[in-house]
């Protein structure tokens, strides 16, 4: 949220501030002093969010951040196949680059909440820095998996195959886990593995 202190903010300045705000990660906001048209947004941490963590816990919130090669390509998959509603940013320079040790580069931040979950994911694309794609095998240290329960496993697999992915599970097909639950693992374009689990059908009330 952009706070405006004072009056007389010029239209070009509003556009400049709005552009800065679009580039901010979710944990920051722009607090803008408008004593002059050349004022500079000051970034301040957002207030601590409400949390259900116990008082002795030092962790109050968490989210997953993934570096992607191409934001538009990644969001096409997450939006079209998993119904994410991403908030796509534009390239810019923000203090997060200093945190990452990438001063002089540009960053593009995209955020989205995982449907049916409280988990928020952030997708980061870097420009102006040397990049080497990493595609670990699932058994390699550092390989990352995102577990997703889906209503229709076969349909999800078909859509991901159409986007260029493949099943890495034994036999290239879903397997049965304990209790007969069907599941499959497939990678996304940036090396993250989806663990896709068929959700149990809704219970039927025998009394009806």
Give percent above pLDDT 90 in the chain: 57
Domains and CATH numbers, the chain: 3-45 (no CATH), 64-127 (no CATH), 145-198 (3.30.720.110)
pLDDT confidence bin for 90, thresholds 50/70/90: very high
- Cβ(92)–Cβ(19) below 8 Å: yes
Return the axis-axis angle of helices 71-82 and 153-162, rounded to nearest 10°. 150
**DSSP bridge pairs for 3:** 31
pLDDT score of 39 = 44
Mean pLDDT of 169-195: 94
Instruction: Give, in order, the Cα–Cα distances in Å from 127 to each of 67, 72, 78.
Output: 11, 14, 21
- On the question of pLDDT at 77 being above 70, the answer is yes
Note the pTM of the prediction, 2 decimals. Answer: 0.70
């Amino acid at each position: 949220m952009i706070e405006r202190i004072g009056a007389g903010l010029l239209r070009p300045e509003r556009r400049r501030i709005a552009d800065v705000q679009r580039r901010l990660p979710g944990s920051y906001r722009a607090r803008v002093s408008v004593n002059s048209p050349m004022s500079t947004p000051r970034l301040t941490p957002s207030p601590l969010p409400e949390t259900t963590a116990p008082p002795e816990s030092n962790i109050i919130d968490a989210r997953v951040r993934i570096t992607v090669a191409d934001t538009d390509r990644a969001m096409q998959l997450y939006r079209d196949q998993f119904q994410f509603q991403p908030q796509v940013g534009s390239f810019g320079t923000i203090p997060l680059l200093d945190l990452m040790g990438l001063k002089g580069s540009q960053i593009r931040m995209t955020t989205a909440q995982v449907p049916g979950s409280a988990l928020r994911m952030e997708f980061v694309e870097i420009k102006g820095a040397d990049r080497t794609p990493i595609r670990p095998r699932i058994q390699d240290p550092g390989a990352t998996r995102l577990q997703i329960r889906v209503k229709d496993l076969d349909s999800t697999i078909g859509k991901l195959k159409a986007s260029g992915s493949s099943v890495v599970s034994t036999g290239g097909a879903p397997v049965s886990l304990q209790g007969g639950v069907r599941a499959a693992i497939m990678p996304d374009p940036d090396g993250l593995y989806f663990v896709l689990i068929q959700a149990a059908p809704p219970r039927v009330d025998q009394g009806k």
